[in-house]
Chain A
Amino acid sequence: MSTPAIAREPRSGPTIYEPSLMTVVDLVDETVDTRTLRLEFKDEGLRESFAFKAGQFGEYSAFGAGESTFCIASPPTRAGALECTFKTVGKVTSALRELDVGDTMGFRGPYGNWFPVDDWRGKNVLFVAGGIGLAPVRCVIWNVLDRRDEFGDVTIVYGARSVGDLVYRRELEEWAGRADVTMVTTVDPGGETPEWDGRVGFVPTVLGEVAPASKDAVAVVCGPPIMIKFSFPVLDGLGFADDDVFTTLEMRMKCGVGKCGRCNIGQVYVCKDGPVFSATELKALPPEY
């Protein structure tokens, strides 16, 4: 054997790449291909001490398939358990979908930066989300709603391709039922069912119709790239400054700790400088996302 470029045996010490073990305590099928898992740390100490901020993500392991990157979809105000929501698109997500309540998976995190929620105190908060993009936004929504007094008006504009693609249905209803939240739900034209009583129209269009005021307001936007692309000009037109518009970037990631190089765009490592970016920061990046 010439060059010893293969280390067959793992080393004896822990590494930053070793996940914590989690038990699946609940699962909810949001749509035909989207599922939410509720996880608890097996280690009691971690269960007590684990803390994170809204917007951060983790690397979730399906042992045998690998790791996948999802935001932490539950709010930091409700600790003890973590939630993640994912669409089945590949090897790891398919394996995660095979898991049942009681099974074990892995978690590394929290990684990345977070929404500057504390800076928004006293301001009106607008949430714009599409499809599964509601998952990271939901975390911030609950974070804000759990601290409702600290913020002004809360407006949520959420849409999906069709009624069947809407996620977090129970929560959509809950938010719609709250007097201190303006909840607007829409589906794309052609996505409505006969019983549908929400709006019909693309999210950016409906956003323009709802036209929330931009004075003393911030916006959180997340969804498919095309939705974000068309929402930004609408927000701009409503008078939102780029510094007050925030999004979370979905990028291919692996290590989550700024080493493997995969998420590097321009001078930014999305796993460390993001995934939360203001529109100002996003527009400064090369168009490689």
Chain B
Amino acid sequence: MSAARQTAAAAPVFLAEGELEALVAELAAAGAEVIGATGAAPASPAAAAAGNERGGPSLDYRVLPPGVAPRLLAGMPRLSLKGFFLPQAEALFGWRQHGADVEIERGAAATRPRVALGVKPCDAAALEIVDQVMNWDYADEPWNERRAATTVFTLACAVEDSSCFCAAVGLAPDATRGADGLLTRVTGGWLVETTTEKGAAVVAAHAERFAAAPPALVDEGAESRRAARERVAANLEIDAGSVRDWIAAHFDDPLLAALGVRCHGCGACASVCPTCHCFDIVDETEGVGRGTRRRQWDTCQTGKFTLHASGHNPRDDQHARFRQRVNHKFSIYPLRFGEVLCTGCGRCSRECHAGQDLVEILAAIDVAARRPETAAVGAADGGEA
């Protein structure tokens, strides 16, 4: 894991704007898949003509086709980087029936080396946080292989909007957790600082593309990062430890129970979340006597998640399920693994169709935890957050 190979941040080098395309081309030529945030080209003239990419194609992390550069600018990709490590649907193995016998078939897919450029620090940090559950006791090989094969360069963030709250969960817009290097936008290009041997190796292998970093630009970069940290800290300030302990001790509190009243249990939040990792395992037949066992994204927000075969459902209403979401992310996972299972990217609040707002929810719990005498009555009644 990156944590083990972490080095002190190396002195920055400079990547000029004009060099980005060439760097991407070189990385691809060296056999890596280059991942970056881009919009999608409309799939067909029909899609374009039908106006079915309303508002412009969505910004998303994609494997860059040849000649396409990532957008190393502000913008939150719609989905997180998670799908490149835990695909939304992943074949685990195939099987084939031969009479009474069964043969398990593995595939030939090997994980190609990948370089991700310009990843949001909240998305990169999520990888290291999910590493914990993927490796406690049993090691999840598909996840680990993809982690090992990927070099992640984050881009210091200018802070999207008031829904960002990475600082409140112990991160920052220029955090380097889960990353092998950090890019910072400055005049004329980007500063590049590597934080692991893996990151340093990539820079070294393409040394021609990088130049020495002029001190003025280094100062500029430091200042923009400091200003961003200030901006995001202003969005939300909580004592994550108090929140964690309050939730653990107040399972039946009306505040927690009221959080789910607006929620539809749609799971969109989980699908855009960089740290949500729950999955289902299913068998799908393909013709007679053969098929594939797959795992796929799943979410505790669906009614089916805890439904027993007997018909009993321990979490049979949305308030119980939404409470589990908040509980697992901010109390259970921290108590079990020492990490908040949230990086403050804010996607869930932006995505939520019914106006569930994690900034508001965390602020309300923080108030309850630190100043119980002025605690919010319950989110259903509007609360006081």
Contacts and interface: CB of A to CB of B under 8 A. Distances in A.
Whether both chains belong to one complex is answered with: yes
Nearest to A102: B100
A260 B279 contact: yes
B95 interface: yes
A269 B332 CA distance: 10
B277 A15 contact: no
B338 interface: no
Contacts of B87: 4-7
Nearest to A23: B100
B161 interface: no
A104 B102 contact: yes
Nearest to B98: A104
A260 B280 contact: yes
Contact of B139 (A4, A16, A225): A16
A2 B282 contact: no
B335 interface: yes
A207 B307 CA distance: 30
B279 A12 contact: no
A96 to B, nearest CB: 12
A28 interface: no
A122 to B, nearest CB: 32
Interface string A80-96: 00000000011001000
Contacts of B63: 4
B141 A14 contact: yes
A257 B138 contact: yes
A267 B134 contact: no
Contact of A63 (B60, B97, B310): B97
Contacts of B320: 288
B375 interface: no
Contact of A11 (B136, B142, B305): B142
A286 B324 CA distance: 11
A255 B309 CA distance: 16
- Interface size grouping (class) on chain A: 35 or more
B307 to A, nearest CB: 7
Contact of A289 (B40, B94, B97, B314): B314
A259 B277 contact: yes
A191 interface: no
Contacts of A261: 277-279, 298, 300, 328
Contacts of A63: 95, 97, 102, 283, 291
A21 B93 CA distance: 13
B111 interface: yes
Interface in B265-310: 277-283, 285, 291-293, 295, 298, 300, 305-310
Contacts of B309: 89-90, 93, 252
Interface string A3-34: 11111111111111111010000000000000
A267 B280 contact: no
B332 A267 contact: yes
Interface stretch (A64-72, A179-187, A232-240): A64-72
Contact of B310 (A3, A89, A265): A89
B133 A10 contact: no
Interface in B156-176: none
Interface string B33-69: 0000000100000000000000000001111000000
Interface in A237-260: 250-252, 254-255, 257-260
Given A13-B106, A252-B307, A260 B88 contact: no
A12 B280 contact: no
B336 interface: yes
A272 interface: yes
Nearest to A87: B309
B141 A16 contact: yes
Contact of B89 (A7, A17, A102): A7
A157 to B, nearest CB: 22
Interface in B92-124: 92-95, 97, 100-102, 104-111
Contacts of B277: 259, 261
A173 interface: no
A47 to B, nearest CB: 17
Given A63-B97, A252-B308, A259-B277, A18 B88 contact: no
A103 interface: yes
A33 B313 CA distance: 22
A64 B101 CA distance: 13
B312 interface: yes
A272 B60 contact: no
Contacts of A272: 136-137
Nearest to B139: A16
Contact of B92 (A17, A104, A252): A17
B310 to A, nearest CB: 7
A278 interface: no
A264 interface: yes
A3 B283 contact: no
A65 B307 CA distance: 18
A189 interface: no
A105 B309 CA distance: 20
Contacts of B111: 11
Sort A-B residue pairs by CB-CB distance and give the 3 closest, nearest first.
A261-B278, A10-B107, A9-B109
Given A12-B106, A63-B291, 9 more contacts: A3-B60, A7-B142, A12-B110, A250-B308, A255-B279, A255-B281, A259-B277, A260-B279, A262-B280
Interface of A: 2-19, 21, 61, 63-67, 89-90, 93, 100, 102-106, 225, 250-252, 254-255, 257-262, 264-267, 269, 272, 286-289
28 contacts: A3-B62, A4-B62, A4-B87, A6-B90, A7-B91, A9-B91, A9-B107, A11-B109, A11-B111, A14-B106, A15-B140, A15-B142, A18-B93, A100-B100, A105-B102, A225-B312, A252-B305, A252-B306, A252-B308, A258-B138, A259-B134, A261-B300, A262-B298, A264-B324, A266-B251, A267-B248, A269-B336, A272-B136
